[in-house]
Chain A
Amino acid sequence: MNNQNIKILLIDDEIEFISTLAERLELRGYSSKTAEDGESGISMVAKESFDVVILDLMMPGLNGLDALRQIKILDAALPVILLTGHGSTKDGMEGMRIGAFDFLMKPLDINDLLEKIKLAVNESPKG
């Protein structure tokens, strides 16, 4: 699958973060959409098809792990890459136990993220 066909959903309450990241991904040919909280992200997953979800763990309202659980109920095969601002890997590991593809620490390295997206798409049963 080339970048043009990869559709990414970014879920994070830090609006300037996801809008900037979405723009950077689009400059690299990816198609991206954003959601500012877990609830609207889940509703987008229910309505549209995505190849990868990038999900922040710490959000007001529905937290990242709960959002992950609901996304997995809607689409078990959809790869989810978690983002965490915590200094520890505990929540990321918990997320992987629930079914996340992998996790990355904030601040991100865009090349690490692109690598994870490629791996997630290639290893996904959807790919």
Chain B
Amino acid sequence: MKKSNDKAAFLGSITASVTHEIQNVLAIIKETSGLMEDFLKMNQAQDLSDLEERLNGCIETIKRQAYRGVALTSGLNGFAHTSDNAQDSINIYKTIEKMISIASRLFVQKGFSVSIIQSNKKDLIVTDPILFQMIIFLCIECLIDTFQTKAAITIDIQSIENRSAIKFLYVNTDLRYKDCEQQVMQDDHWIKICDLSTHLGISAKAYADSPGILLLFK
């Protein structure tokens, strides 16, 4: 029951963030079409010599926002379909890349940029796709909440002793951190990360000397 509640909360927070952004896209399209109406009304009262140019500018804005909206809804649709199967074979890199793309607004709101280091690795795992994305999300949130100062988080997929590993590194060269491991483990997200990692058969470790988390597949 608790796992399904956590899943629902995770799906809810991602969906709320994306639909909020879609509202912004629609708001821009609505205002821009309203501005086109304004121009056409003005043109009836007095000929606007640059009417075509003004309308073309509006059309470009609407097109740009339509593309943005399509990308958002496609991403959300893909994300929603990851819950179709309780167990599935997933590509680690592609799944993380899509997840951070769809959740980026949530991270940006907190002043963080999250990126994944390009990888051609085709590491495939059979897992619960939603729980896998949840643990990725929780690791990012854990570093954001623990270290707080606006920075970048990079995710790197590596092989350690022939096992797939995911490294999350909080990158802020201006700051020096002490007791990183303790700080991460005191964050509320850490208990959830440990719980989920056990469920998924992953080991989770906080780095002692730098702000970061390692997920290692068994």
In angstroms, Cα B31 to Cα A14, docked, is 12
In angstroms, Cα B24 to Cα A21, docked, is 13
In angstroms, Cα B109 to Cα A63, docked, is 8
Say yes or no: is A123 at the interface (Cβ < 8 Å to chain B): no
Say yes or no: is B80 at the interface (Cβ < 8 Å to chain A): no
**At the interface with chain A, which of B32-40, B91-99, B117-125?**
B32-40
Flag if B65 contacts A16 (CB, 8 Å).
yes
In angstroms, Cα B26 to Cα A110, docked, is 14
**Among A60, A61, A107, contact of B27 (Cβ-Cβ < 8 Å):** A107
Say yes or no: is A85 at the interface (Cβ < 8 Å to chain B): yes
Tally of chain A residues near chain B (CB < 8 A):
20
Flag if A60 contacts B111 (CB, 8 Å).
yes
Contacts of B108 in A (CB 8 A): 60
Mostly helix, strand, loop or mixed at chain B's interface? helix
Tally of chain B residues near chain A (CB < 8 A):
25
Contact with A along B111-149 (1 / 0, CB 8 A): 100000000000000000000000000000000000000
Contacts of A85 in B (CB 8 A): 20-21, 23-24, 27
Q: How many A-B residue pairs have CB under 8 A?
A: 59
In angstroms, Cα B65 to Cα A36, docked, is 18
Flag if A17 contacts B28 (CB, 8 Å).
yes
Flag if A106 contacts B34 (CB, 8 Å).
no
Contact with B along A65-95 (1 / 0, CB 8 A): 0000000000000000000011100000000
Contacts of B32 in A (CB 8 A): 16, 20
Say yes or no: is B61 at the interface (Cβ < 8 Å to chain A): yes
Say yes or no: is A108 at the interface (Cβ < 8 Å to chain B): yes
> Which residues 13-27 of A have a CB within 8 angstroms of B?
14, 16-17, 20-21, 23-24, 27
Flag if A106 contacts B24 (CB, 8 Å).
yes
> Which residues 36-64 of A have a CB within 8 angstroms of B?
58-61, 63
**Among A24, A59, A87, contact of B31 (Cβ-Cβ < 8 Å):** A24
B76 to chain A, nearest CB (A): 15
Flag if B20 contacts A86 (CB, 8 Å).
yes
Q: A60-B109, A107-B27 are in contact. Are A20 and B61 (CB under 8 A)?
A: yes
Flag if A58 contacts B20 (CB, 8 Å).
yes
Flag if A20 contacts B23 (CB, 8 Å).
no
Which of A16, A27, A87, A108 has most chain B Cβ within 10 Å? A16
Which of B24, B35, B38, B42 has most chain A Cβ within 10 Å? B24
A58 to chain B, nearest CB (A): 6
In angstroms, Cα B108 to Cα A60, docked, is 6
Which of B19, B28, B34, B65 has most chain A Cβ within 10 Å? B28
Flag if A24 contacts B35 (CB, 8 Å).
yes
A26 to chain B, nearest CB (A): 10
Of all chain A residues, the one with the shortest Cβ separation from B30 is A107
Chain B interface residues (CB < 8 Å from chain A): 16, 19-21, 23-24, 26-32, 34-35, 38, 42, 61, 64-65, 108-111, 150
